[in-house]
Amino acid sequence: MTNTTDFQFDTIIVGAGPAGLCAGMYAGRGMLKAVVLETRVPGGELLNTEKIEDYPGFESILGRELAERMTAHAKKFGAEIRQATVEGIHRLPDGSFEVKTIEGDVYTAPTVILTAGGTPTKLEVPGEAEYAGFGVSYCAVCDGAFFRNQTIAVVGGGDAAVEEAEYLTRYASKVYLIHRRDELRASRVLQERLFANPKIEIIWNRQVLEIEGREQAGMREVTALRLKDTVTGAESRVAAAACFVFIGFRPNTGLIREHFRHDPSGYVITDDRMMTSIPGLFAAGDLRAQLTRQVTTAVGDATTAAIAVEKYLADRRSRVSVGA
């Protein structure tokens, strides 16, 4: 394990999903010395998505292919991408930042762009990981269109589950909403809309035990969900071509070692330049409080953040020169 303290940059980008890669590209175009830190292979949630059909310019593209193209584009303009797991982002007395990794390295810069995304809460049942991207999804807008005129299952009982179940009826012939209790947590207005939708059937008091599927012609697909009655313990199956899971989402904001403004769900609140309440710390993508979370909104956030960083650094240099 090393303990390197001389990694100095103009900006440190934490996370190499679409937002991080786009921020790296724009930082490179702006002639900034930038590093993108990512625990795994660059791409983020793109690597968990089979096909993407809602990114402008690509009627259909594999998630991993779009990730590879974004990575190459960022590198072309000079962004350095390193595999490292960030442990914490600390603001120093002079207003700059220290980013520590579990590998023991320390990176410093006057600005940080946090693009670490968020993590959907998983069911943690057999079949979920195996069929992720092949019928198991955590985003209705991303994947709903792949299941036109088919039966879809949605798991959850809060606002997100109810909203997404209703959204999916524009594609599906039938939507099952599976909830482990006998009443929903969603707001009353959303519930009334759900109950009035003839395409939706609620399956009460059921817990998902397994997501079943099969592989044919080299493709995997979901076929059914095995359920357990939370009252009687009886098991049953419901046939479905897809399982959309909406039981929670956790923004990866725990890396920030200082209080910051956030909404009730923990998402970072930024200004129109993507700067957080901590000067010099910018945020982009899924961990930011906003209406929707798509690849397009992530790269839009990142574009703004990277250009704002340029202006922030220019202003900082001006203040330093005046002070000198």
Strand bridging mode 61-62 / 51-52? antiparallel
> What distances in angstroms separate CA 236 from CA 25, 125, 229, 230, one per listed residue?
50, 15, 8, 12
Q: Is 161 helix (H, G, I), strand (E, B) or coil?
A: helix
The number of beta carbons lying within 10 Å of the beta carbon of residue 293 is 21
What CATH topology corresponds to 7-120+249-323? FAD/NAD(P)-binding domain (3.50.50)
Q: How far apart are CA 180 and CA 207, in angstroms?
A: 5
The residues spanned by each domain of the chain are 7-120+249-323, 136-245
Q: What is the pLDDT of residues 265-309, one digit of tens each?
A: 899 999 999 999 999 999 999 999 998 888 999 999 999 999 999
Which residues, in sequence order, are bridge partners of residue 14?
37, 114
According to the model, what pLDDT value does residue 5 have?
53
**Under 8 Å between Cβ of 174 and 147:** no
Q: What is the pLDDT of residues 208-256, one digit of tens each?
A: 999 999 998 888 999 999 999 999 999 999 999 999 999 988 888 989 9
Q: How far apart are CA 285 and CA 105, in angstroms?
A: 25
According to the model, what pLDDT value does residue 45 have?
81
**Under 8 Å between Cβ of 27 and 79:** yes
Total residues found in the chain within this entry: 324
According to the model, what pLDDT value does residue 228 have?
98
According to the model, what pLDDT value does residue 249 have?
84
According to the model, what pLDDT value does residue 129 have?
94
| Cβ partners under 8 Å of residue 180, min gap 6 | 157, 205, 206, 207, 230
According to the model, what pLDDT value does residue 291 have?
85
Over 60: is that where the pLDDT of 324 sits? no
According to the model, what pLDDT value does residue 2 have?
46
Which CATH architecture is the domain 136-245 placed in? Answer: 3-Layer(bba) Sandwich (3.50)
The helix (run of H) or strand (run of E) holding residue 65 is helix 63-76
What is the reported pTM?
0.75
Over 80: is that where the pLDDT of 3 sits? no
Domains 7-120+249-323 and 136-245 share a fold: yes
Q: What is the pLDDT of residues 58-114, one digit of tens each?
A: 989 988 899 999 999 999 998 999 999 999 999 999 999 999 999 999 999 999 999
Q: How far apart are CA 89 and CA 281, in angstroms?
A: 9
According to the model, what pLDDT value does residue 1 have?
43
Query: CA 97, 17, 120, 262: dihedral to nearest 10 degrees?
Result: 40
DSSP secondary structure code for residue 11 in this structure: E
Q: How far apart are CA 288 and CA 265, in angstroms?
A: 11
List, by residue number, the catalytic residues. Answer: 139, 142-143
The number of beta carbons lying within 10 Å of the beta carbon of residue 187 is 13
According to the model, what pLDDT value does residue 230 have?
97
Q: What is the pLDDT of residues 106-142, one digit of tens each?
A: 999 999 999 998 888 999 999 999 999 899 999 888 8
